[in-house]
Structure 1
Amino acid sequence: MSRTTRPLLGLAQLSLLDTAPPELLGIAAEAGFDFIGARVRPVTATERPYDLQPGSPMARETVARMRDTGVTVRDIEFLLLDGSDQREAWLRMMEAGQALGASSLTVAAADPDGSRLVHTLARMAEDGRGFGIVPTLEAISYQPVASIAQAADIARQSGCRIVVDTLHFNRFNGFNLVNDQGDGGSGGAGAQWDQLRANADLVPLLQLCDGPSRRPSSREELVVESRSEREVPGEGDFDLAAAVAALPDGLPLSAETPSDRRVAELGELGWARRLKSGVESVLAAAGTRREAGHLQGAGPR
Structure 2
Amino acid sequence: MIKEAQFSDISLANLTVGRTPPVELIHAAAGAGFGKVGLLLMTATAQPLQHEVIGRPDVIREIKAASKDTGVGVFDVEAFVLSPQTDMERFRPALELGAELGATHISSIGTEFAGNATFLSREQRTDLFGRLCDEAAQFGLTVGVEFMMYRDIQTWRDALQMIEAAGRANAGLILDVLHFFRAGAAPFDLLQIPAERIAYAQLSDCVAASPPPEKLAAEARGSRLHLGEGAIPLQQMLDLLPAGLQLVIETPVATEAGFSTLERAKSAAKHTTDFFQAHACAPRVPAAPHP
TM-score, normalized by length of structure 1?
0.83
What is the CA-CA distance between 1:233 and the residue it aligns to? Answer: 1.4
The residue that corresponds to 1:164 in the other structure is 175
Change (3 A) 1:206 1:13: same
Q: Unpaired segments of 5 or more residues in structure 1?
A: 174-188, 289-301
Change (3 A) 1:211 1:5: closer
* Separation in 1, partners of 2:191, 2:280: 18
Amino acid at match of 2:131: R
Change (3 A) 1:140 1:36: same
Change (3 A) 1:152 1:117: same
Q: Unpaired segments of 5 or more residues in structure 2?
A: 112-118, 282-291
Q: Is 2:274 aligned against 1:281?
A: yes
How does 1:1-301 map onto structure 2 within 5 Å?
Answer: 4-6=4-6, 8-53=9-54, 56-110=57-111, 111-158=119-166, 159=168, 160-173=171-184, 189-190=185-186, 193-195=188-190, 197-217=192-212, 219-264=213-258, 266-284=259-277
CA-to-partner distance for each residue in 1:130-177, whole Å, 9 max, x for gaps? 11112111011211211111111211222221111111111013xxxx
CA contact (8 A) 1:16 1:268 kept: yes
* Separation in 2, partners of 1:119, 1:99: 26
Aligned positions, number: 269
Q: What SS class does the counterpart of residue 163 from structure 1 fall into? A: strand
Change (3 A) 1:15 1:93: same
* Separation in 2, partners of 1:132, 1:38: 17
Change (3 A) 1:68 1:41: same
Higher relative contact order (CA 8 A, sep 6+): 2
- Between the aligned residues of both structures, percent identity stands at 26
Q: What SS class does the counterpart of residue 205 from structure 1 fall into? A: strand
CA contact (8 A) 1:207 1:254 kept: yes
* Separation in 2, partners of 1:48, 1:55: 13
* Separation in 2, partners of 1:262, 1:5: 26
* Separation in 2, partners of 1:284, 1:59: 36
* Separation in 2, partners of 1:286, 1:196: 21
Amino acid at match of 2:148: I
Change (3 A) 1:229 1:51: same
What is the CA-CA distance between 1:112 and the residue it aligns to? Answer: 4.5
CA contact (8 A) 1:229 1:259 kept: yes
CA RMSD in angstroms comes to: 2.1
* Separation in 2, partners of 1:47, 1:19: 14
CA contact (8 A) 1:104 1:133 kept: yes
Once the two structures are overlaid, the 10-residue window that deviates more, 250-259 or 196-205, is 196-205
* Separation in 2, partners of 1:273, 1:117: 39
Amino acid at match of 1:254: V
Amino acid at match of 1:234: G
Change (3 A) 1:89 1:286: farther
* Separation in 2, partners of 1:144, 1:209: 22
Once the two structures are overlaid, the 10-residue window that deviates more, 35-44 or 274-283, is 274-283
TM-score, normalized by length of structure 2?
0.85
* Separation in 1, partners of 2:150, 2:142: 24
CA contact (8 A) 1:245 1:286 kept: no
